[in-house]
Amino acid sequence: MAREAHYRYKSETFATCLSDDCFLFFGRMSMAYDPGYGYSLIWAFFTSPNVTNAGVIQGLCLEKDLANSNTGTQHAIEQVAEAECNQLSHHVITKLPREIRDMIYQHLSTRNPEHIEREHFRTTLDPVTRLYSYDHARWKASHFPDHFWNPRYVGDLFFRELVENYYRNSTFTFGDDPEVMKRFLSTDEMGINILPKDLVRNIEVHLKAVSYDRGSFRGYMFGVPKKPERLQAALDGLSELNEGARICVRFFTEAKTVKERDEHCLAALPTLFSSTQIAKMTGYKVKFVVDDCHHYDLEGAMAQDWAMLHGVV
């Protein structure tokens, strides 16, 4: 009530510098509990043609008071949220068995699909300096904004089990950007001292046989075949997964005929999978999909037979 009276007083003070129409508008200032709403009113005030110098000063004072009040309120809300979240997560850890906790984690952290692209590792905008730089805390806050992704709110054990489920049960989808998959699987982004490659069990890779290269008119308009070596670089890291991982490779040829599609596949297959990857395929559940219409399930000994059939080994 005190805060409401404070803002009502400020709005009435503003009214002495404004016309009757502006007064009716700023009479709603007592409702400005939302920071965005309050600042929109301030902006409308400063852009009004009826504002005097005294009104500008009053406006600056109100803007400062509003900013200070919002900062204090936000801090108080964060303290309450932290206490409530920690209490709840403590009960989850101490009162529930791991099987039930895993059901909770699956609901909270499983993402199907979870797209990992080049931008995943790029810099983010610093809200203070307005410059782009890499900051792990800022990166994590932008990718995982919910409180349960912050160990300060849920505790270390809850957070660790949550992250383990995220890696173990989510389906991670990659494009054909070189080195992205390998970097993701080999980087402990969450800080739990476990690499994703030791937990990830579901991966999907989208490979495009054609690239629209802007270096030439023909390449830009009609596309040119991608070098098989680049496609291989996009798959680098698959062989580091544990046995039993599910892998789906979707190969898009943009072919107009069956013959053209087969030519694309035969040209790319010898380089797509290295001898090391082929040897480990016997322990994976591999699906090779061409243009979303031709499916090849490669499991166990079938993987070796398939590779030999296409001249990979």
Mapping DSSP onto H, E and C, the string for 136-164 reads: HHHHHHHHCCCHHHCHHHHCHHHHHHHHH
Domain for residue 109, yes or no? Answer: no
Cβ neighbors of 5 (< 8 A, separation 6 or more) are: none
User: How much is the pTM?
Assistant: 0.68
Nearest to 39 by CA among 56, 60, 55: 60
**Does residue 78 sit within a domain?**
no
146 domain residue, yes or no: no
On whether residue 104 sits in a domain, the answer given is no
Q: Residue 210, class by beta-carbon neighbours within 10 Å (0-12 exposed, 13-18 middle, 19+ buried)? A: middle
pLDDT band at 225 (very low <50, low <70, confident <90, very high): low
Residue 299 has pLDDT above 90, yes or no: no
- Same domain assignment for residues 186 and 254: yes
User: Which of the four pLDDT bands, split at 50, 70 and 90, describes residue 11?
Assistant: very low
Q: Domain of residue 29: give its range.
A: 2-71
Our count of domains for the chain comes to: 2
Write the pLDDT tens digit of every residue in 167-180.
Answer: 999 999 998 888 88
pLDDT exceeds 60 at position 308: no
In a domain, 84, yes or no: no
Q: Report the distance separating Cα 74 and Cα 286, nearest Å.
A: 49
Do the domain assignments include residue 97? no
Mean pLDDT computed over 159-187: 93
Residue 43 sits in the same domain as residue 118: no
According to DSSP, residue 241 is labeled S
Distance between CA atoms of residues 76 and 239, nearest Å: 49
Domain final residue pick, 37, 52, 71: 71
100 pLDDT exceeds 70?
yes
Same domain (yes/no): 177, 295: yes
Q: Are residues 263 and 119 in the same domain?
A: yes
What is the rounded average pLDDT of the residues 188-192?
92
Q: Are 64 and 119 part of one and the same domain?
A: no
207 plus 281 within the same structural domain: yes
- Give pLDDT, residue 288: 81
57 & 168 share domain:
no
Cβ–Cβ < 8 Å for 268, 233: no
Same domain, 166 and 296: yes
Q: Does residue 269 fall inside a structural domain? A: yes
Q: Which residue has the higher pLDDT, 199 or 221?
A: 199
Written as one string, the DSSP assignment of 34-95 is SHHHHHHHHHHHHT-TT--HHHHHHHHHHHHHHHHHHHHHHHHHHHHHHHHHHHHHHHHHHH
Same-domain check for residues 200 and 296: yes
Q: Give the Cα separation of 54 and 212 in Å (integer).
A: 61
b/e map 128-158, b = 16+ CB within 10 Å? eeeeeeeeeeebbeeebeebbbbbebbeeeb
Q: Which of 54-63, 131-140, 211-220 has the lowest mean pLDDT?
A: 211-220
Mean pLDDT taken over the chain: 74
Q: Are residues 59 and 183 part of one domain?
A: no
pLDDT at 185: 95
Rounded to 10 deg, the angle between the 35-46 and 53-95 helix axes is 170
The Cβ of residue 118 has, within 10 Å, a number of other Cβ atoms equal to 12
If asked whether residues 294 and 172 sit together in one domain, one would say yes
**Does 150 reside within a domain?**
no
- 168 and 64 within one domain: no
